[in-house]
Amino acid sequence: MILLVAGCAAPAPVAPPAQTVFRTAGAPFASSTRFDAARMAGDWRVVAAFAAAPGRLPGVTLRLAQAPGGMDVTQGGWMLPAGRYAVTGPGRLVRAPSAGVSGPELWVIWVDDDFRTAVLGSPDGRLGWIMDRGRISADRLRAARDILGWQGYDLTRLRAVAD
């Protein structure tokens, strides 16, 4: 009888896996006032992104389009859900709810003078990546990495993305 009662007991609840945070909590975090939706529009190749697991990440191209009050992500691959992102402040984008799905909040942290290289991240530290319009130069990659470091990101968790 004891075995029967134990076998009918409800299983213990399982906690969802913790989301990985790649930034130091409380580290200063700022978006770029140089954000310009028209200049951000077009195709971007992600060259490095934060990931919990070691190794190279699959390649991804993001396609952005200027939209009224924000940006449309029309192609995001595994990196970014497609949809409308509203501009909520200088360089600050939030995915508009669509079919009950919202988020993530993204900030353009840095962009070079010619809008060839950009760094995006999230205030909660769960997202961060470097993207480029073509083949990134060593000096722009170094600058992008420095920006992520200054924003409190753990650069040991920054992974290269396949071409």
By the 8 A CB rule, do 60 and 74 touch? no
Rounded to whole angstroms, how far apart are CA atoms 146 and 24? 15
Pick the CATH number of 28-160 from 3.30.450.40, 2.40.128.20, 1.10.1740.10, 3.40.50.12780: 2.40.128.20
Is 60 exceeded by the pLDDT of residue 97? yes
pLDDT in tens, 106-152: 999 999 999 999 999 999 999 999 999 999 999 999 999 999 999 99
User: Is residue 40 scored above 50 in pLDDT?
Assistant: yes
The residue with greater pLDDT, 85 or 8, is 85
Of the pLDDT bands very low, low, confident and very high (cuts 50, 70, 90), residue 4 is very low
Domain ranges of the chain: 28-160
How much of the chain, in percent, has pLDDT values that exceed 90?
69
What predicted TM-score, i.e. pTM, was given to this entire model?
0.85
Between residues 32 and 75, the one the model is more confident about: 32
Angstrom distance (rounded) from CA 93 to CA 107: 6
Provide CB contacts within 8 A for 104, sequence distance 6+: 80, 81, 94, 95, 122, 126, 127
What's the mean per-residue pLDDT of the chain? 86
> So what's the pLDDT on residue 2?
46
Stated length of the chain: 163
